[in-house]
Amino acid sequence: MKELLDFWIESTPNLLDGLIVSLQVTAVILAIGIPFGLLLALGVESKNKFTKWFSLFAVEVGRGAPALVLLQFAYFGLPPVGITLSSFSATVLALAWNTAAYTSEIIRAGIDAVPHGEKEAAASMCFSKIDTLRFVVLPQGLRVAAPALLGFAVLMLQATSLSFTVALPELTSQAHIIGSSTFKYMAILSYAGIMYASICIPATILVSVLEKQLGKHTI
């Protein structure tokens, strides 16, 4: 047991560096993906055929293709057409697209949950469609969607582990590097799993508490 703890202590600095990269990638993915998810949700509801079908295409491809396939395409599939991305950029592009596709459906469900009477009340007060969206629909719809969005954010932190396939030095990649040099794969991957769990479990509990708090209030 002491040998295992000493090994973990020795590996901690490298794994922490990887964890920081994972958190940074997750933050960038969510900062890009969620706003684009909102735009796609609005685009799917648009009456403009081009906007609607383009949004549907982006959503269906982003949801239908596995995140790993999108990641491999961004890193290995674009260079033949003259576009070369770093491992960080490819990860952000692929997982932000995946995030936008999934969160668009979450946000759209939240928007659809806003009672039609709220929109009619806004119209009776001479609100424009934009103002109705800004001040009535989105604040309430995003409140409904918030727990699911936070839950999805936890999943995206876990999904960053896929980027070890494109040599991004995140947590899983660092664990594999250490494992390949020491051959203690089970020990180091277990430690990496503990690091993921130390963030994901409290975050999941927080999401559950938030969901219960928001559930006390109806729209």
Task: Say if residues 144 and 113 touch (Cβ distance below 8 Å).
Answer: yes
Q: Are 113 and 141 in contact (CB under 8 A)?
A: yes
Radius of gyration of the chain (CA): 21
The pLDDT confidence band at residue 211, using thresholds 50, 70 and 90, is confident
Tell me the domains of the chain and their CATH numbers. 2-215 (1.10.3720.10)
End-to-end CA distance of the chain: 54
Residues 17-27: pLDDT tens digits?
Answer: 999 999 999 99
Q: What is the pLDDT of residues 124-144, one digit of tens each?
A: 887 888 888 888 888 888 888
Instruction: Give the 3-state secondary structure of residue 113.
Output: coil
Helices (H), 46-164: 49-64, 67-72, 87-112, 116-124, 129-132, 138-159
Nearest to 156 by CA among 23, 64, 63, 57: 23
| DSSP 8-state symbol, 81 | G
pTM of this structure: 0.90
In sign, the C-alpha dihedral spanning 25, 157, 154, 198 is negative
Q: What is the pLDDT of residue 75?
A: 93
User: By mean pLDDT, which of 9-18, 127-136, 145-154 is the weakest?
Assistant: 127-136
Smallest CA-to-CA distance from 41 within 118, 137, 177 is with 137
What is the Cα–Cα distance from 18 to 11, expressed in whole angstroms? 11
Kindly state the average pLDDT of the residues 56-80: 92
